[in-house]
Amino acid sequence: MNVAMMIPQRSLWDTVLPNLTILGIAIAAFLGVIFLIFVLAERASNNVQNILKYIVFLAPAALLLLIGLIYPAIRTLIFSFMNANSSEFVGFDNYTWAFTIPEIRIVLRNTLIWTLLVPILSTGLGLAIAYMTDRMKRAAVIKSLIFMPMAISFVGAGIIWRFVYTYEANVNRPEIGLLSSIWRAMEWEPRNWLLEAPLNTLLLIVVMVWIQTGFAMVVLSAAMRNIPDEITEAALLDGTSNFRRFTRITIPMIRATIVVVLTTITIGTLKVFDIVRTMTGGNFQTNVIANEMYSQSFRQMNYGTGSALAIILFVAIIPIIIYNVRQLRLERTER
């Protein structure tokens, strides 16, 4: 008798119903509690409300951030000076490890390449496309298509591009990957794209650029639309060439936005681990800090080295945080 026959197949409804129930209960309970708080609080006297307002409006978010972000960050800092299972202090050993082991140095080098190339290429391309489509009719469709990868998960993007880079070792079989196929049609030497370092890192960077260019384009073209028409028209009357107008007017006028886009993409790039994980699993010398941090912490179960890598990642971001806070201060005082 077939064993599979004996096991009752779970119907679709069996998987859907529990999830929908949990989902419904969670949202209803949450909103119910808030509704109740409001009903009660609105009846309270003004003095009570003056205290209650901090407890209801400010405290939940503040507590969550304190317990969920600030406290863990401090713990991670402490862990980074401890051994694998956080039982004793080891000083700077984990950091020495990170900067001396050849494998990890490759990881750091790759992360540096990512954080240099992705922001520059994405912002550059985004800027160019934004400028090309600035005064173009019916640019909406074009922009939507370039912006679309922003809606796709890094995992999904990883699969999409793995498919582009697929390589067929047997020359008698057809290539099913787009890139390899073009390569073969050109009769160039076949290459196993994702195995060849350092080419593979560049090919992974292409994926991130593919995603981020749309973001850069959208933000920069919004900035370009804010350039007063009079300025562009004056330049036009003077007979300024398109290229000069771009370098002398457009770029200086939107410089602040360009910096915002660059920093935003830099931060996103430092944190991204899904692409590398999906496409190469961090093998073949393509690993980056964010992925290695995950492997160290949850595969090797070494909280010491994992935390040290997280701290290195954070230290790389600190200048951007300081810059951002300064900018915000300036903006606020200008008002």
Partner 1 sequence: MSTLNRSRAKSAFSSPIASAAAVVIATLWTIPTFGLLISSIRPEQAINNSGWWTFFTNPEISFENYEKVLFQGTLIQPPMVQYFFNSLAITLPAVVFPITLAVFAAYALAWFDFKGRDFIFFSIFALQVVPLQLTLIPLLQLFAKGLSINGITIIPNLGITGTYIPIWIAHTIFGLPLAIFLLHNFLRQIPRELVEAAKVDGAGWFTMFRALIFPLSIPAIASFAIFQFLWVWNDLLVGLTFGAGSKEVAPMTVRLAEMVGTRGGGWEVLTAGAFVSTVVPLIVFFALQRYFVRGLLAGSVKG
Nearer to partner 1, 156 or 252 (CB): 156
The C-alpha atoms of residue 312 and residue 105 are separated, in whole angstroms, by 12
The C-alpha atoms of residue 306 and residue 276 are separated, in whole angstroms, by 17
82 binds partner 1 (CB under 8 A): no
176 binds partner 1 (CB under 8 A): yes
Nearer to partner 1, 252 or 281 (CB): 281
132 binds partner 1 (CB under 8 A): yes
Helix (H, G, I), strand (E, B) or coil at 126: helix
Report whether 254 contacts 244 (CB < 8 A).
no
Site for partner 1 in 267-306 (CB under 8 A): 267-274, 277-278, 281, 290, 293-294, 297-298, 303, 306
Helix (H, G, I), strand (E, B) or coil at 226: coil
The C-alpha atoms of residue 219 and residue 197 are separated, in whole angstroms, by 34
Shortest spacing between CB 85 and partner 1, in angstroms:
11
Q: What does the block give as tokens for 290?
A: 């964010």
The C-alpha atoms of residue 305 and residue 313 are separated, in whole angstroms, by 12
The DSSP output letter for 2 is -
94 binds partner 1 (CB under 8 A): no
Q: Among residues 159, 231, 234, 251, which is the contact residue for partner 1, using CB under 8 A?
A: 159
Site for partner 1 in 136-155 (CB under 8 A): 136-137, 139, 141-142, 144-155
171 binds partner 1 (CB under 8 A): no
Site for partner 1 in 185-224 (CB under 8 A): 210, 213-215, 218-219, 222
Q: Among residues 181, 192, 240, 285, which is the contact residue for partner 1, using CB under 8 A?
A: 181
Shortest spacing between CB 25 and partner 1, in angstroms:
10
What is the number of alpha carbons within 13 Å of residue 242 lying toward its C-beta?
6
